[in-house]
Amino acid sequence: MYNEIVQGIKRFIDLSDEEVRIVESCIPIKQFEKGTVLLREGQIAKTSYQNLSGLVRKYYIVNGEEITTNFYEENTSISSLNSLNNQEPSTHYLECIEDCKLAVLTKEKEDELIKKIPQYEALCRASVETDLGNHQEALAQYLIASPEQRYLSLLKNKPNLLNRVPLYLLASYIGVKPESLSRIRKRVIKNKNP
């Protein structure tokens, strides 16, 4: 299992045998069952994750309604940066919507890795920059695109979610009610096959 983490890191930085052992000692891999809530609103995040398999959903509860803002697929980082770095209560939830295998990294172990493997800090920075860029694009998409455009973007950029995520969660993700998503899907299919 650790080989997956090491191989992922080695795509970006070289590791000596000793550094491989350090990584393996600092980043345990754990199994989480579908339905496990990794972080709740109001909790202070203690860990970040790397998704090795499964699917994690990020959502908020607004006026009693769950609003999905992200799905973390395989080979993505999962964290609540503001909560983790500033030790502030989280404003959202992170939930496994499939059985998941996640690499788990505490802030203390991350600091240890940076101290013992200096180039690891550059990897962390690059990961945060990538995540920030993805979040900015998602926010822009949500603000300027129509629900139908957001659905078409989902089809183009994350088509496998259609087979992995219940429709009511997809509806929440693109910002509509399930019945509106059904109408959008029918329109898209009709426009594809006039």
pLDDT per residue as tens digits for the range 71-118: 999 988 999 988 998 999 999 999 999 999 999 999 999 999 999 998
The pLDDT, as a whole number, for residue 194 is 57
The pLDDT, as a whole number, for residue 183 is 93
76, 95, 128 — which closes off a domain? 128
- Residue 80 and residue 34 in one domain: yes
- Residue 117 and residue 162 in one domain: no
Q: Is residue 24 part of a domain?
A: yes
d(CA 11, CA 9): 5
Could you give the number of structural domains in the chain? Answer: 2
Mean pLDDT of 173-194: 87
Q: Is residue 28 part of a domain?
A: yes
CA–CA distances in Å: residue 117 to residues 79, 141, 154 = 21, 37, 38
Q: Is residue 140 part of a domain?
A: no
pLDDT in tens, 23-76: 989 999 999 999 999 999 999 999 999 999 999 999 999 999 999 999 999 988
Q: 68, 82 in Cβ contact below 8 A?
A: no
- Residue 56 and residue 108 in one domain: yes
Q: Which of 54-63, 135-144, 175-184 is the least confident region?
A: 135-144
Q: Is residue 29 part of a domain?
A: yes
The pLDDT, as a whole number, for residue 138 is 81
- Residue 41 and residue 9 in one domain: yes
102, 128, 154 — which closes off a domain? 128
Q: Is residue 139 part of a domain?
A: no
What is the chain's mean pLDDT, rounded?
Answer: 90
Mean pLDDT of 160-167: 95
- Residue 181 and residue 112 in one domain: no
- Residue 72 and residue 165 in one domain: no
103, 128, 153 — which closes off a domain? 128
The pLDDT, as a whole number, for residue 139 is 83
In this prediction, residue 193 has a pLDDT band, given cuts at 50, 70 and 90, of low
pTM: 0.88
What range does the domain containing 178 cover?
145-194
- Residue 68 and residue 154 in one domain: no
